[in-house]
Amino acid sequence: MHTATTDVWRWLSEIPDPEVPAVSIVDLGIVRDVRHGADARLVVTVTPTYSGCPATEVIANSIREALQDHGVADARIEMQLSPAWTTDWLTPEAKEKLRRYGIAPPAGLAPGERAIDASRILRYRPADDGVTCPRCGSARTELISGFGSTPCKALYRCVACREPFDYFKPH
């Protein structure tokens, strides 16, 4: 008997992201598709956030376990690279969950494809991104490092409340 894909989506939406447990793998847009293959087996398509993300294999295992817990033992997990994952897929609810967790959500859309332009890159000021402090809401924040505890985050500091915080970079 077919498992309803709506049920599967609901189960998957309860799996926390291993690195940012405040949001689920569905909130983050990592699960791209749930369907039944030609052989009637359930197929879950996932996409990696970053190519070197060590969480990708943990996520595949969590999906397998969650499905087994619901009696689906023979699901197939497929990895899909294209279209490349982007923070633009984060839902407004996911961004709010990040903020409550203490991580500033990506401000604005991911930078699109364009020529590399020295004046633009060198003129870049982190303040232009409009990153606000997830604790006090102040817009007076400064970049400490473009790379934080994981490649998807940058390290910021709030000038108003002096707290350092993680920023989920537009990607």
Partner 1 sequence: MDDALHPYVLRLGDNALVLSQRLGEWCGKGPALEEDMALTNVALDLLGQARMWLSYAAELQGDGADEDSLAYHRNAPEFRNLLLVEQPNGSYADTLVRQFFFDAWHALALRELGRSSESRVAGIAQKAAKEVAYHLRRSSDLIVRLGDGTARSHEMMQAAVDNLWRFTGEMFETDAIDAAARAAGAGFDATSLRREWLAYVGEVLETGTLRMPPPEAWMQKGGKQGVHSEHLSRLLAEMQVLQRTHPGAKW
Q: Which helix (H) or strand (E) holds 136?
A: none
Interface residue with partner 1, options 128, 147, 159, 162 (CB under 8 A): 147
Residue 94 interacts with, from partner 1, Zn ion, none (CB under 5-8 Å by kind): none
Count of chain residues binding Zn ion (CB under 5 A): 7
Q: Which residues, 22 to 81, sit near Zn ion by CB under 5 A?
A: none
Q: Judged by CB under 5 A, does residue 157 bind Zn ion? A: no
Binding segment toward partner 1, per CB under 8 A, in 2-10, 70-78, 82-90, 94-102:
82-90
Contact 169, 106 (CB under 8 A): yes
Contact 17, 50 (CB under 8 A): no
Binding segment toward Zn ion, per CB under 5 A, in 9-17, 48-56, 92-100, 158-166:
158-166
Distance between first and last Cα of the chain: 40
Closest listed residue to residue 27, CA positions, set 108, 137, 105? 105
DSSP-derived 3-state class of residue 169: coil
Residue 136 interacts with, from Zn ion, partner 1, none (CB under 5-8 Å by kind): Zn ion
Q: Quickly count: other Cβ atoms within 10 Å of residue 45's Cβ.
A: 15
Binding site for partner 1 (CB under 8 A): 48, 50-54, 81-86, 110-111, 113, 115-119, 121-122, 124, 144-151, 155, 169, 171
